[in-house]
Amino acid sequence: MLKSFVPLFVMTFFICLFIVMMQFLWRFIDDFVGKGLSIGVIGELFFYASLTMIPMALPLAILLASLMTFGNLGERFELTAMKASGVSLIKTMKPLIALVAFIAIAAFFFQNNVLPVAQTKMWTLLYSMRQKSPELEIPEGVFYDQIPGYNIYVKEKNRDNGTLYQMMIYDLSKGFDNASVILADSGRLVMTEDKTHLVLRLWQGESFENLKEAGMSSANVPYRRESFDYKEVLLKFDANFNRMDEDGMRNQYVGKNIAELQETIDSVRAQADSIGLEYAKAVQSAGLMSMPLTKGNDTTGHSHAAARRLNVDSVFRGSTSAYTLSYLQTALEKTKRQRQDYEFKGYALADKRKTIRRHGIELQKKFTLSFACLVFFFIGAPLGAIIRKGGLGMPLVISVFLFIFYYIIDNTGNKMAREGRLEVWEGMWLSAAVLLPLGVFFTYKAVNDSAVFNRDAYANFFRRLLGRGEVRSVSMKEVIMEEVAKAEALTKLESLSLHAGRLRQSLARCTNYVAYWTQGVPRLDLKALSAELESTVGYLANSRDRLVVMKLMDFPVLRSLWIYHPTGVKWVAWSAIILFPIGLPVYIAGRRSIKHLDGEIATIEKVSREEIKLLNGEKPQRTITKDKT
What is the helix, strand, coil percentage profile of the chain, to 5? 65, 10, 25
Question: pTM score, two decimals?
Answer: 0.58
Domain regions of the chain by residue span: 2-130+362-447, 143-236, 251-292+319-357, 458-615
Residue 564 DSSP label: G
Contact between 340 and 400 under an 8 Å Cβ cutoff? The reply is: no
3-state SS class at 403: helix
Query: What tens digit of pLDDT does each residue of 313-343 get?
Result: 776 666 677 777 887 888 888 888 878 887 8
pLDDT tens, 179-191? 788 888 988 887 7
Percent of the chain with pLDDT over 90: 4
Q: Work out the burial of residue 174: count CB atoms within 10 Å of its CB; fewer than 13 is exposed, 13-18 middle, 19 or more buried.
A: middle
Single-letter amino acid, residue 301? G
Residues 6+ apart with CB under 8 A from 526: 503, 558, 560, 564, 597
User: Residue 299: is its pLDDT beyond 50?
Assistant: no
472: left (phi over 0), alpha (psi -120 to 50) or beta: beta
Q: Which residue has the higher pLDDT, 178 or 399?
A: 399
Give the residue with greater pLDDT, 600 vs 470: 600
Tell me the average pLDDT of the chain. 79
**167 burial class (0-12, 13-18, 19+ CB within 10 angstroms)?**
buried
Is the model's pLDDT at 110 over the cut of 80?
Answer: yes
Residue 424 and residue 364 in contact, taking contact as beta carbons nearer than 8 Å: yes
124: Cβ contacts below 8 Å, ≥ 6 apart: 243, 244, 245, 246, 248, 249
Q: pLDDT at residue 99 above 90?
A: yes
pLDDT in tens, 227-266: 888 888 887 766 555 666 677 777 788 888 888 888 888 8
The residue-averaged pLDDT of 506-527 equals 81
219 pLDDT exceeds 60? no
Distance CA 192, CA 199 (A): 7
Confidence of residue 103 (pLDDT cuts 50, 70, 90): very high
3-state secondary structure of 501: helix
Q: Tell me how many degrees the CA angle 394-399-405 measures, rounded to the nearest 5.
A: 130
Whether pLDDT at 57 is above 60: yes
Rounded to whole angstroms, how far apart are CA atoms 271 and 256? 20
pLDDT in tens, 532-578: 888 888 888 888 888 888 888 888 888 877 777 778 777 777 787 77
Residues 6+ apart with CB under 8 A from 295: 303
List pLDDT tens digits, range 411-424.
Answer: 888 888 888 888 88
Given this model, what pLDDT does residue 459 score? 60
CB-based contact 202:184 (threshold 8 Å): yes
